[in-house]
Amino acid sequence: MKKTVTTLADGRELLYYDSRDDVVREAADTRPLDAVSTASEIRRDPLLGDSVAIASHRQGRIYHPPADECPLCPSRDGRQSEIPEADYDVAVFENRFPSLAGDSGRCEVVCFTSDHDASFADLTEEQAGLVLDAWTDRTAALAQLPQVKQVFCFENRGAEIGVTLGHPHGQIYGYPFVTPRTELMLRSMAAHHAKTGGNLFDDVVAREEADGSRIVLAAEHWIAFVPYAAHWPYEVHLHPRRRVADLRELDKAARTEFPQVYLELLRRFDRIFGPGEPPTPYISAWHQAPFGVPGREDFGLHLELFTIRRTSGKLKFLAGSESGMSVFINDVPPETAAQRLREVASQ
The confidence score (pLDDT) of residue 66 equals 86
Q: Percent helix, strand, coil in the chain (nearest 5)?
A: 30, 25, 45
Structural Rg of the chain based on CA atoms: 20
AA identity, residue 203:
D
Q: pTM surpassing 0.75?
A: yes
In the predicted model, residues of the chain with pLDDT beneath 50 are none
What's the sign of the alpha-carbon dihedral 53, 57, 61, 63?
positive
Would you give the distance in Å from CA 150 to the centre of its chain?
13
pLDDT attached to residue 65: 84
The predicted structure's pLDDT at residue 29? 96
Amino acid at 53: A
Helix (H/G/I), strand (E/B), else coil: 209? helix
Positions annotated as catalytic residues are 169
Which amino acid, residue 101? A
Q: How far, in Å, CA of 161 to CA of 347, rounded?
A: 29
- The DSSP element (H or E) to which 175 belongs, if any, is strand 169-175
